[in-house]
Chain A
Amino acid sequence: MKAFRRGGVTESPRRSVIAPLRRMLPLTGVSALLLGWSLAAHLAGAHTLPGPGKVARAIVELTERGLLLRFAVASLFRVTWGYLLAVAVAVPLGLCLGLLQRAERTLNPLLQILRPISPLAWIPLAILWFGVGDLSAIFIIFIASALPLTVTTINAVHLVPRVHLDAGRNFGLGPLALVRRVVYPAVLPQLIGGLRLALGIAWLVVVAAEMIAVNSGLGFLIIDARNAGDRYDLVVAGMVLIGLIGLVLDAGMRRLERLPSLRWGFGAARAAR
């Protein structure tokens, strides 16, 4: 998709006029959203939809009570552990399954059956196994991000050009060295894409998990604000914070794609593959 956006042949003089405008586009979008939100809040009344001003005050209130930092850290803590665990399991597993046809044929049906099950369906079992608490939430994040990451890694391995594997073997690499020096770097660009996707899913899921299984975090904030007195301004404040933190996480992952040793896999070098 990125390729299409960049691929268009725009003439340079026109582009130089348009470029600053283009940079303004996201800002324009955010402004329009805030404007529409204010208008809708005004028309519907503050009881149905708290407006931006009210939500901003709610965020200030959360900050002053020290809850913002505490809840954000609690959510990020669960995501970090669940996600790192998923990466540690899914990437090596995906590499192995991608390379070993027989192992893949054996395990593939299992993956395909697990994949369509919403991670949230695991919540009861998670509570049964790990109790109400951090461990349950971490387990759900792990399940949610490990499966797609495994599948992405397997597919990436299948796309490694045959000539690269042959060249690696020709230079005397054994199976392990081949994975480390050829397969792994070859799949890295795609892997980064998968890691980004999985982090997005992890963040999506932590909030849902916190609505049920714990008593801290941004997901808990949303449910708790509703239950304890219909504070819908806090509910929306929680939503806004989740969105903003998600945005920052994704932007961080995107920066990885710009590392010089990875740039070949994105845009410029598509033809070389």
Chain B
Amino acid sequence: MNRTARGDGGGGGGEVKLALRGVSMVFQGDAGRVPTLDAIDLEVRRGELVCILGPSGCGKSTLLNIVAGFIAPTSGEVRIDGEPVRGPDPRRIFVFQERGVFPWLTVEGNIGFGLGGLPGAERRARIDRYVELVGLRDFEHTYPHELSGGMKQRLEVARALAVEPDVLYLDEPFGALDSITRLTMRVELLRIWEAERKTILFVTHDIEESVQLADRVVVLSARPARITRIVEIDIPHPRDLSSPRYLELRDGIFEEIGVAHRI
């Protein structure tokens, strides 16, 4: 239970973008109280990519929804740029699995959804830029139900990026994709992150995914979630997935979570 001692771990300086202080959540379920988050303390620096890793049902989505302002915690608080979070905000966009795209809008309509306030030409240019960035050129007038899962996911990321937020929240964004598409999506996410340098909170239950993407991996326990460890992934991108350091870090997390990595 040395979580707090290591809670603020991780190397490098940099300005704190997002800070969680003692965030706890207890749901009132049909069968009584469901303690879901237990005093989560965490700091994320500007431009950092942090993965939140934990078993299914431990409370990862709950945590991300609290940080995004969709639900209020039972106790504790979230501050972004020093300001307490009081609700969702277009400066910080939540990317749901591809289910979040609006099926009644075309690719173009989806990407432009948050750009109502811009003058026409600028809006056009912005849409164009992000269509290009996520590789959906020639699909501008296509409706989501005619796109593959991977394309829908990229569309949702483009819709989020188009409003130029400074934080992205991704909740198991690639969970519904096949393993090959998932790998290419990770490469694309890293490419976009390197180009735009957003602060990213990325929730996943996939150990490999977290070690491939993150600057730091925040390991959560089973419900009620506590931070058991924060692992700094000190390998520069592009990461060699067979390098000794990668395997060492990955296996360390496997051990931490207490699952065998031999099948």
Contacts and interface: CB of A to CB of B under 8 A. Distances in A.
Interface of A: 161, 163-164, 166-167, 169-172, 181-182, 185-186, 188, 260-265, 268-269, 272-273
A167 B94 contact: yes
Contact of A272 (B68, B70, B94, B144): B144
A185 B104 CA distance: 7
A260 B68 contact: no
Contacts of B193: none
Contacts of B89: 170, 172
B145 A170 contact: no
Contact of B113 (A161, A171, A263, A273): A171
Nearest to A261: B104
B158 to A, nearest CB: 13
B88 A272 contact: no
Chain A, interface SS category: helix
B178 to A, nearest CB: 16
B96 interface: yes
A166 to B, nearest CB: 6
B102 interface: yes
Contacts of A171: 90, 93, 113-114, 163
A182 B102 contact: yes
B138 to A, nearest CB: 17
Given A169-B70, A262-B104, 10 more contacts: A167-B94, A170-B90, A170-B94, A171-B113, A171-B114, A261-B143, A263-B143, A264-B143, A265-B103, A269-B145
A164 B145 contact: no
Contacts, number: 65
A163 B103 contact: no
Contacts of B124: none
Interface in B55-112: 68, 70, 87-90, 92-94, 96, 99-100, 102-105
B90 A264 contact: no
Contacts of B96: 163, 166-167
Contacts of B68: 170
Given A172-B114, A264-B143, A272-B145, A188 B103 contact: no
B33 to A, nearest CB: 23
Nearest to A166: B70
Given A163-B96, A166-B88, A273 B163 contact: no
Contacts of A170: 68, 88-90, 92-94
Nearest to A177: B116
Contacts of A164: 100, 102
A221 to B, nearest CB: 43
Contact of B99 (A161, A260, A262, A268): A161
A188 B104 CA distance: 9
Interface string B110-149: 0001100000000000000000000000000001110000
A169 B96 CA distance: 13
A262 B143 CA distance: 10
Contacts of B113: 171, 181
